[in-house]
Every structure is written in C-alpha cells, then in structure tokens.
Chains A and B, each alone.
Chain A
Amino acid sequence: MSMEFLLASAIGTLTAAGVYMTLRARTFPVIIGLALLSYAVNLFLFAMGRLVVDKPPIIHPLATTYTDPLPQALVLTAIVISFGMTALIVVLALRSFLETGSDNVAMREMNEGANIESRGGEASR
C-alpha cells in the first residue's frame, strides 16, 4: 500500500511541478518543466505494468510469477527519446538566446512581415 501511495504521489507532484514550470515565460524553466514531465511519464509507464517486487521479467525455471516486461521496454524507449529531446531543446534555447539576446519564449518583439529573410530562397545560389 505504502509503495503505491509513494509512487502515485511522486508522479502527481512531478506532473504538477512540470506543468507549472512549462507555463513560465522563460526558456530555462520551460526546459526544466519538460524534463519533470518526462520523469513523471517514465514513472507512470513503469507503474502501468503494476508494482511487483522481486520477480523476474523474463522466463526463469524457478519463477512462479513474473513482472510485466513490456512497460520496462517502453520506459527505455521513452527515456532515450526524452533524453535526446532535452539535449536538442537546451541547444536550441541557447542558440536562440545568443541570436536574439532574450530568453523570452514569446515572439512579441519580432517585427511584422519579416517572415522570409531578405536574401530570399531560391535567389541565393
């Protein structure tokens, strides 16, 4: 019982904190928020196979019951993807800060009608 409560409240806290942080207006808190959300979802996926203690995930001659191996495989995939994504968005935020001089997420200061840069697409060969 206590383990279920601990896990459920951990997922809940992480999600709440993640949602709060993603709603901030600066890039760094948003990235932290996304990371917290990805931790929450990893724990959540893991718990979806039900919590079983001390049981093997693969077939073993002495085992009588097993833990579900599939959620663990899903979590591995999700971790790899979210790790790569976090790296990407950190670099992106850094480049964006260096080029615009602001770490604000909004695009307010961007000038109107400058959608296509002045040098043009197929003109610049």
Chain B
Amino acid sequence: MSHWIVAPTLLPALTAAYLILFARNDIFHQRIVSIAATLMLVLLTFGLYQLAGDGESRAYLLGNWPAPFGIVQVLDRLSAMMLLLTACLAFIVVVYAIHGWDRRGRYFHALFQFQLLGINGAFLTGDFFNLFVFFEVMLIASYGLMLHGGGPRRLKAGFQYVTINLIGSTLFLFAVGIIYSVTGTLNMADLAVKAGQVAAGDIALLRTGALLLFMVFAIKAALVPLHWWLPTTYAAASAPVAALFAIMTKVGAYSVLRMYGLVFGTDAGPLALVAAPWVIPAAIVTLAIGAIGVLASRTLLDLVCFAVVASMGTLLIAVGLFDQVGVAAALYYLLHSTLAGAALFLLVDLIAVRRGRARDRLNAAPPFPRDSVYGGLFFLAAIAMVGLPPLSGFLGKLLILDATRETAHAGLIWTIVLGSSFIMLVGFARAGSVLFWKSAAQPPQEQEDEPKRRALPTMAAGALVAGMILLSVFAAPVSRAVTETAQQALDTRAYVEAVLGTIKTARATGL
C-alpha cells in the first residue's frame, strides 16, 4: 500500500492552511509557497502516473479501515492521468495569476489550493459519499475564486452559480440516500457488486437514484439542458479562474465515466449502462447549442464559453459509447479540450487588456503593440478548438468519429460533429478577422503611456498552446496510453478486486 496515493489531497490541503495561517498579509510569500506547492504537485502526480503505468489499480485505505466500511482512495491509470493534467494546468494558471490577478483579493492562492484539493480528491476517491464531500470542497473554493476580484457582474453571476450548485448538491444527497437505502453501501466497488444482485422490486428505485446522480454530473459537465450556468459563470470569472474551471467540467465527465462506465457498467445486470440512453442524445444537443452560441456571440469571451460547451458535447458523445474505443477517444479529446479551453480563456484576457476600451467586443479597434504574437496564438488555439488539422482537436474528433462509426446513430453523430465544427469555424474565423485584420486597418492608437507588460503571462498562454502541439506530435504514444487507460477504466472486475480484495491482504499482513 503506497502512502503516496493520499499525497495529492494532503499537499494542497496543508499548503492552503499554511497560506491562511502564516502568509495572509504577504503576497510575495504567498506566491512563492503557492508556486512551489503546485510544482511539487506536478512532480508528485507525475510519479503517481508512473506508478499507475503498470496497469494495476491500487486502493489506499484511509485510517486502514477495511474497504466497504472505511473510505478508500483508488489510484489507477485514469485517476493518475486526470491528476497529472490538473497539476500541469494548475501550474500554468498560477504562473499566469501571479502577474496581477492574485492581488485583487487576499485569499486567491489559498482558495486555489483548496480548489486543487477538491479536484484531486474527486479524482482519487472510491466512495461516492466522499465524492460528494470533495465536490463540495471543490465548489466552496470555486465560489470564492469565481467571486475573486468582486464587482456587480461577478456577484450577480456568482449568486446564480452558487444557487444551481446548491440544487445540484441537494440532488446528489437525494441520489446517495436512495442508492444507500437499496444497496446499503457507499463504496463504489461494493456498489458495483451489489448493483448486479439487487432484488427485482428495488430495481426501479435504484434506477431512480442512479439517474438522479447522473443529473448532478450533467450539471457539472454542462450537458443540455443543464448548461446555462456555464457561459454566465465563466464569462464573469477572472481569466485564471476560468482557465482553472476548464478542468471542473471534466470532473463531471470523469464522474459519468466512473459511475456509469465502471460501477453501473456492463456487469451490473438489469442496471447495466443505466445512463447510456441519455448521454449521447443530450451530448448531441449540447454540441449543437454550443456551436450556435459560438456563432451568435458578440464578445470574444462569450464565444470561448460556448466553444467550451460545444467541446463538452463532443467529449460526452464519446464517453456515452461506454466501450473501449469510445472512451479512449474521449480521454484523448479530454486532454486536448482542457488545454484548448484554458489557453483561450488566458488569451482572451491578454487580448482584451491590450485592446484598451474596446475590451473583448467583436468590433474593429485600433491595433495594439505586437498584435501578431497574440493573433498567432489565438489562431493556433482556435484551430485546435474547432478541430482543424493539424492540431490535437482534429485528431481527437477523428478518433471520436472513428469510434462512433459502427454505432446505431452514426449518421446523426457524424452530421452534428462535422456540421458544428463548420459553424464554429465560421464563428472563430469571423472573430479572428475582426480582431486582428479589420483592426489593423484602423488608425493607430494615440500614444498613451503604454503600461510596461511582462512576457510571463503570454508565455503561460503559449505553454498551453505548446501542450496541444505536443499532444498532436506525440499522438501515437498518447493514444496508446489512453487506450490502455480506457481498458482499465471499464474493467469492473479488476477494480472491485483491487478495492475489496484489500481486506484479505490487510489481514494476511497483520496490519
């Protein structure tokens, strides 16, 4: 039993507590600690990724209570991959944030670490009440981060965001209650065993619980019709926070995969793949609405928000297949869309600041210094997001289209995926040409005192774009890795053995 498994939740928790207790008034102290801790988290999760690479699921018993009774954390390829992605994204975001955003409120870094605690915990936990708790940790921190910087618009959007998530939490508790009353367990592995053996009279009740839980994850993943909170919230949040939130929708997608691919997987008897009939139709509508939103947006930030909604639709179409090829494609696309969304949020902020009074509105404004750099980065991020060759968005969509080729709705899925890519292409092309080409024709700005700008924030956005380029260059090894991950993520038996088998091992070793 490797004790390192608990470290990705412990490290941010201790860092956040330290930041509040000892570095409250010293922003430089906060920055140093926060960057060092996030860098350590990157190294740590890389180590765990290596550890999980042998294909074995490892359960960590908290307090050494045997599995169905105590809380377990489970490290397998899927959770290790998500942890590594979160840590890398967080590091880039925190580097971006130290150039001004973190001064807008006193607790940015502490809240940021609490947010990482919640996200890492949600990826690691093997107990679905504990999943609720980590969701709450993640949400409480996200409320604080979303309001970071203040202002009437954030407060209004924040109220809506908090309300929808409180309703989501209530639904989560109802679902947990129903599932517990039928099966008498909260452990995911134990539930996977008991879901298959449930009495005939209780099937309807358990199905209700499972689908209520799916609604909660659909809110998190911004599936239509539960997606309306996302554009408002992300548009109102500050740029580094929106970039970090790019991983939060993926927590929803991850939970759908965990609960409905693994726990209510193909072995779950009458409840096998209970959410499958809902995922793909909802995802198709999500994709279509996201694409239309991209075309209809009047500001660059709204455009990016709807592009994120569309990318969640694409991702969940692949997740909804619940087979190895589909999930492998989904995981590749997940890596790509997290980087693409985060990169675009940071770029919008960089561009809007430089455009002065025109902000991020899609109209021509006087050109700003070195706009070719930002135009170039925006161009790269946009073609990745839309899914044009040669970047990772294209490869991801190709994998998804290939995975859906044999399914019943292949014609519909292909039409929507390709059609929405075209609509998004038009939307992004229009935005880019207005921002960079029509603006170039405008008379140059009167020489104001151009504030001295540093290169580091631009490099942070560039690093995310570089990540997508790497993802495209190393597509072959990455796609091999995600295929192995998908295989393990859908293997209920191995997961159950890893978690519940530890009772025997613990007794044998006399622990």
Do the two chains bind?
A: yes
A92: chain B residues at CB < 8 Å are 143, 147, 155, 158-159, 162
8 A-B residue pairs with Cβ-Cβ distance under 8 Å, sorted by A, are: A74-B176, A82-B166, A85-B162, A110-B152, A113-B359, A115-B153, A116-B349, A122-B457
Give the distance in Å from the alpha carbon of A82 to the alpha carbon of B169 in the complex. 9
Taking the closest CB of chain A, its distance from the CB of B356, in whole angstroms, is: 9
Would A112 and B129 be within 8 Å (CB), given that A92-B155, A121-B353 are in contact?
no
Instruction: Give chain A's interface residues, CB within 8 Å of chain B.
Output: 22, 27, 30, 34, 37-38, 40-41, 44-45, 47-50, 70-71, 74, 77-78, 81-82, 84-85, 88-89, 92-93, 95-96, 99-100, 105, 107, 110, 112-118, 120-125
Give the distance in Å from the alpha carbon of A95 to the alpha carbon of B147 in the complex. 11
The reply to whether the CB of B301 lies closer than 8 angstroms to some CB of chain A is yes
Going nearest first, the 10 A-B pairs with the smallest beta carbon separation are A120-B353, A96-B155, A48-B181, A122-B100, A48-B177, A113-B361, A122-B99, A100-B152, A41-B173, A115-B301
Taking the closest CB of chain B, its distance from the CB of A84, in whole angstroms, is: 7
The reply to whether the CB of B186 lies closer than 8 angstroms to some CB of chain A is yes
B177: chain A residues at CB < 8 Å are 41, 44-45, 47-48, 71, 74
Contact B155 A99 (CB under 8 A): yes
Contact A30 B163 (CB under 8 A): yes
Contact A115 B236 (CB under 8 A): yes
Give the distance in Å from the alpha carbon of A121 to the alpha carbon of B454 in the complex. 13
Size class of the B contact interface (CB-based, 8 Å): 35 or more
Contact B156 A121 (CB under 8 A): no
User: Which residues from 326 to 355 on chain B have a C-beta closer than 8 Å to any C-beta of chain A?
Assistant: 348-350, 352-353
Contact A96 B158 (CB under 8 A): yes
B239: chain A residues at CB < 8 Å are 116, 121
Give the distance in Å from the alpha carbon of A93 to the alpha carbon of B133 in the complex. 24
Contact A89 B167 (CB under 8 A): no
Centre residue among B101, B103, B167 by max chain A CB count within 10 A: B167
Contact A107 B155 (CB under 8 A): no
Give the distance in Å from the alpha carbon of A30 to the alpha carbon of B161 in the complex. 13
B454: chain A residues at CB < 8 Å are 122
Contact A48 B298 (CB under 8 A): no
The reply to whether the CB of B140 lies closer than 8 angstroms to some CB of chain A is yes
Would A122 and B349 be within 8 Å (CB), given that A22-B163, A99-B155, A116-B359 are in contact?
yes
Would A34 and B163 be within 8 Å (CB), given that A114-B153, A121-B239 are in contact?
yes
Contact A70 B235 (CB under 8 A): no
Contact B100 A100 (CB under 8 A): no
Taking the closest CB of chain A, its distance from the CB of B155, in whole angstroms, is: 4
- The answer, among A37, A74, A114, for a CB contact under 8 Å with B170, is A37
Would A118 and B359 be within 8 Å (CB), given that A38-B170, A41-B173, A41-B177 are in contact?
yes
- The answer, among B151, B156, B162, for a CB contact under 8 Å with A107, is B156
Contact A44 B352 (CB under 8 A): no
B458 (CB) vs chain A CBs: closest residue? A122
Centre residue among A38, A50, A107 by max chain B CB count within 10 A: A107
Contact A41 B174 (CB under 8 A): yes
Would A99 and B100 be within 8 Å (CB), given that A27-B159, A37-B167, A112-B298 are in contact?
no
Contact A115 B359 (CB under 8 A): yes
Taking the closest CB of chain A, its distance from the CB of B104, in whole angstroms, is: 8
Centre residue among B96, B136, B149, B173 by max chain A CB count within 10 A: B173
B158 (CB) vs chain A CBs: closest residue? A92
B98 (CB) vs chain A CBs: closest residue? A122
Taking the closest CB of chain A, its distance from the CB of B83, in whole angstroms, is: 24
The reply to whether the CB of B422 lies closer than 8 angstroms to some CB of chain A is no
Give the distance in Å from the alpha carbon of A113 to the alpha carbon of B236 in the complex. 11
Taking the closest CB of chain A, its distance from the CB of B431, in whole angstroms, is: 13
Bitwise, B177-196 to A at CB < 8 A (1) or not (0) is: 11011000010000000000
The reply to whether the CB of B311 lies closer than 8 angstroms to some CB of chain A is no
Contact A77 B453 (CB under 8 A): no
Contact A74 B129 (CB under 8 A): yes
Give the distance in Å from the alpha carbon of A88 to the alpha carbon of B101 in the complex. 23
Give the distance in Å from the alpha carbon of A82 to the alpha carbon of B167 in the complex. 11
Contact B360 A123 (CB under 8 A): no
B299 (CB) vs chain A CBs: closest residue? A113
The reply to whether the CB of B256 lies closer than 8 angstroms to some CB of chain A is no
Taking the closest CB of chain A, its distance from the CB of B100, in whole angstroms, is: 4
Taking the closest CB of chain B, its distance from the CB of A9, in whole angstroms, is: 17
